[in-house]
Chains A and B, each alone.
Chain A
Amino acid sequence: EAQVTQNPRYLITVTGKKLTVTCSQNMNHEYMSWYRQDPGLGLRQIYYSMNVEVTDKGDVPEGYKVSRKEKRNFPLILESPSPNQTSLYFCASSWSLNEKLFFGSGTQLSVL
């Protein structure tokens, strides 16, 4: 089954403790992206990747890092999480920039 898999689904952590949210897709998509969803703000793009080893900032990249060492994986790294990063995170992928996005089920992160 074609899918985008994020882990974990839920995560509670404390300020400053490094964490990684994993994202994997099995559709051989070149384009991958991370979004955060906050009440009243909709979906905002954090980082995106056009292909392996090609990443770029989205609209709200501060406090986040990403890597794209393999085509299928696009982890989101929070080196020093802060409470304002409490949010619902979505990973998405597509064949290319011009194709529709497939989204993962989301990761609800709470930073205390």
Chain B
Amino acid sequence: DQQVKQNSPSLSVQEGRISILNCDYTNSMFDYFLWYKKYPAEGPTFLISISSIKDKNEDGRFTVFLNKSAKHLSLHIVPSQPGDSAVYFCAAKGRGGGSQGNLIFGKGTKLSVKP
């Protein structure tokens, strides 16, 4: 039972254009969402996050939108750059301690930004 879904395994975008990566979740107890970026031969690194009390969070070229009613979030990268080519993981966590508070990751979306 996949609680965090990234339905697009890959995405190809032209440099300078917008990249939109999507993520859906099923658990209504999730209240904090994060995006991680992973380059080959490296560990994932934190990119941006959003709390369920917000519907948008922006950091430079990266913006995350949260639609709680649709249980959907998206990561927008504008403008896209070749250095953004990486695998992006969506992750979510619920309230409380123990296993409920652990991060649940999606399967990832491989973004390719072409010059």
Contacts and interface: CB of A to CB of B under 8 A. Distances in A.
Contacts of B45: 103
Contacts of B49: 100
Interface string B26-48: 00000010101000011111100
Interface string A97-112: 1101111111000000
B115 interface: no
Among B32, B43, B89, B93, residue most surrounded by chain A Cβ atoms (within 10 Å): B43
A56 to B, nearest CB: 7
A44 interface: yes
Interface of B: 6, 9, 32, 34, 36, 41-46, 49, 89, 93, 97-99, 101-103, 105-108
Nearest to B46: A100
Contacts, number: 54
A45 B108 contact: no
B32 A101 contact: no
Interface of A: 4, 33, 35, 40-45, 48, 50, 56, 58, 90, 92, 97-98, 100-106
Contact of A103 (B9, B43, B101): B43
28 contacts: A4-B43, A33-B102, A40-B107, A42-B89, A42-B106, A43-B44, A43-B105, A45-B102, A50-B97, A56-B98, A56-B99, A58-B99, A58-B102, A90-B44, A98-B32, A98-B93, A100-B34, A100-B49, A101-B36, A101-B44, A101-B103, A103-B43, A103-B45, A104-B43, A105-B41, A106-B41, A106-B42, A106-B43
Given A42-B107, A43-B89, A100-B49, 13 more contacts: A42-B89, A42-B108, A43-B44, A48-B102, A56-B99, A58-B99, A101-B44, A101-B46, A101-B103, A103-B36, A103-B43, A105-B41, A106-B41
B50 to A, nearest CB: 12
